[in-house]
Amino acid sequence: MTRILIALLSIFISSQAVAQDWLTSSGDSGNYFTATINEPSRQYRNTGTITLRDPIYGFVLGTYRFATGGRGRGSAPLTDYAVGKFRDDGPIGSRWMLRQVGREDGEVWDPHIGDMRTWIELHKAHTGYSLGCIAVFGNWGEFVHKLDYILSRAGTVRFILR
């Protein structure tokens, strides 16, 4: 019995190493964070769904509704994003800075207004609107835990808001 358990454990450990090697060699974050808007195009306010997937095995960890825009300069631009620094200060509470790939945390070029947007974040939805951030509805603590898990395995998370 002990030999069987040791053999099973060694197979499990080997599969973890292979999965981790594949993950780190892939060079991007695959599809373990997807953000899809419900509307056919970008509006002043958009709603949508974020799906989080296990970065090693690919199964769905959770699906969350979000809203972006409806206030200020409108919704977040539809572009490639990277999840940046985690912050836990100020009136919004815990959140991640978002950035357009190749820019600083919080920065996204907005072709609709012809200007740089700043302080673009991923945070809990406090209302049905945001100032261009991606505001997540539902169990924020669960979302934070699952995205932390993904970041701990993947290192970097990129996604395309579309």
How far is it, in rounded angstroms, from Cα 4 to Cα 2? 5
The answer to whether residue 29 scores a pLDDT higher than 60 is: no
Structure confidence at residue 26 (pLDDT): 37
Take residue 159 and report the two structure tokens written for it: 């996604």
Higher pLDDT, 8 or 158: 158
Burial tier of 56 (Cβ tally within 10 Å: 0-12, 13-18, 19+)? middle
pLDDT value for 111? 94
110, two tokens? 């907005």
Helix extents (H) in the chain: 2-25, 140-154
pLDDT per position as a tens digit, 94-153 = 999 999 999 999 999 999 999 999 999 999 999 999 999 999 999 999 999 999 999 999
Provide the residue count of the chain: 162
pLDDT score for 16: 41
pLDDT in tens, 76-95: 999 999 999 999 987 888 99
- Contact, 67 vs 49, CB < 8 A? no
Model confidence, pTM: 0.79
Mean of the per-residue pLDDT values for the chain? Answer: 85
The residue among 43 and 6 whose pLDDT is bigger is 43
Strands (E), the chain: 33-37, 45-53, 60-69, 80-89, 93-100, 108-110, 115-117, 121-124, 134-136, 158-160
Q: Quick one: pLDDT band at residue 1, thresholds 50, 70, 90?
A: low
The structural domains of the chain, with segments of one domain joined by +, span: 28-160
